[in-house]
Amino acid sequence: AQSVTQLDSHVSVSEGTPVLLRCNYSSSYSPSLFWYVQHPNKGLQLLLKYTSAATLVKGINGFEAEFKKSETSFHLTKPSAHMSDAAEYFCVVSTGGFKTIFGAGTRLFVKA
């Protein structure tokens, strides 16, 4: 069975400081993993995806994530937070079929 766990429901950082959003997954075979961002009352936007190529994946808006098989993790990072990064972030694992499994989400707050 596949599952995904986002370890923090809320993360608060100051503008200009690093961002770390944590995600662990469980999969019986090599997964595809994704991060999406959702701003209030908006749809979800794909930030980046891992599909068994390079383990360090670079996405939009300066975000990146590293796939670590030994730790079954796919944490999202950004060196310096911006106010516009305040949003909800979802870690997602693909089952390899037609469906994907979403984490519960992490809400990122950015303080001025």
Partner 1 sequence: SQTIHQWPATLVQPVGSPLSLECTVEGTSNPNLYWYRQAAGRGLQLLFYSVGIGQISSEVPQNLSASRPQDRQFILSSKKLLLSDSGFYLCAWSVRGLAGVWQFFGPGTRLTVL
Name all contacts of 28-32 with Cβ < 8 Å and 24+ positions apart: 28/1, 28/2, 29/96, 31/2, 31/93, 31/94, 31/96, 32/93, 32/94, 32/96
Work out how close the CB of 35 gets to partner 1 at its nearest, in angstroms, rounded to a whole number.
11
Binding part of the chain for partner 1, among 17-25, 31-39, 61-69, 72-80 by CB under 8 A, reads 31-39
Q: Does 59 bind partner 1 (CB under 8 A)?
A: no
Bridge partners of 51, per DSSP, are none
Work out how close the CB of 28 gets to partner 1 at its nearest, in angstroms, rounded to a whole number.
14
DSSP-based three-state secondary structure for 70: coil
Work out how close the CB of 92 gets to partner 1 at its nearest, in angstroms, rounded to a whole number.
8
Q: Specify the residue, 48 or 110, whose C-beta has the smaller distance to partner 1.
A: 48
